[in-house]
């Protein structure tokens, strides 16, 4: 396969297409029909509404927010004894709210894990769609090859028929 020059193959195919088009071997509108069919396939596969990069950024934001959650408040006060009162209340409140904060952190991590899986599934679907598109393109190329072969056969039959008719008329 490494010996194949793709540019040469494409150029050769393009020359053959031009020659056969000029010779009238391809049905009128074939290229437009194939281009339309291919464009339809691309539209059905290329879904810009699914932006997994943006989703990744959002998931990373959930992860950061979950890990940065804290309940530390300031114990500073301008009132005499206010700082001591703030510290005492803070210890009581933290004792009651720390389990809640930990649960929220765990929930954030679980949500992020679920969103990472959603992203993975979207990318797997996109990959499957691309494989399906390549299969469809391969099918179109196979049909073109069959059409090309049929055109060659019809041309050969026409030549034989002309030859037979010329021999008959002699």
Is the confidence at residue 164, as pLDDT, over 60?
Answer: yes
pLDDT at 72: 64
Take residue 38 and report the two structure tokens written for it: 């291919």
Tell me how far apart the alpha carbons of residues 104 and 160 are, in angstroms, rounded to a whole number. 83
Within 10 Å of residue 158's Cβ, how many Cβ atoms?
Answer: 10
Whole-prediction pTM:
0.46
Tell me how far apart the alpha carbons of residues 60 and 115 are, in angstroms, rounded to a whole number. 10
pLDDT at 51: 65
pLDDT at 93: 79
DSSP 8-state assignment for residue 74: -
Mean pLDDT taken over the chain:
79
Q: pLDDT (tens digit, 9 = 90+) per residue, 102-154?
A: 888 888 888 888 888 888 888 888 888 888 888 888 888 888 878 878 887 88
pLDDT at 2: 57
Give the length of the chain: 170
Within 10 Å of residue 134's Cβ, how many Cβ atoms?
Answer: 12
- Domain coordinates of the chain in residue numbers? 6-168
Share of the chain above pLDDT 90, in %: 0
Tell me how far apart the alpha carbons of residues 69 and 61 are, in angstroms, rounded to a whole number. 12
């Amino acid at each position: 396969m490494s010996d194949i020059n793709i540019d040469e193959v494409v150029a050769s195919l393009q020359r053959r297409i031009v020659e056969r088009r000029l010779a009238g071997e391809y049905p009128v509108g074939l290229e437009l029909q194939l281009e339309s069919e291919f464009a339809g396939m691309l539209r059905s596969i290329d879904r810009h509404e699914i932006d997994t990069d943006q989703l990744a950024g959002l998931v990373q934001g959930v992860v950061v927010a979950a890990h940065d959650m804290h309940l530390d408040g300031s114990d500073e006060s301008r009132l005499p004894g206010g700082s001591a009162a703030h510290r005492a209340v803070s210890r009581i409140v933290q004792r009651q709210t720390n389990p809640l904060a930990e649960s929220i952190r765990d929930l954030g991590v679980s949500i992020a894990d679920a969103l990472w899986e959603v992203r993975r599934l979207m990318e797997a679907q996109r990959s499957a769609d691309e494989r399906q598109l390549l299969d469809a393109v391969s099918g179109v190329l196979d049909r073109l090859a069959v059409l090309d072969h049929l055109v060659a056969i019809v041309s050969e039959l026409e030549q034989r028929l002309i030859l037979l008719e010329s021999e008959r008329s002699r």
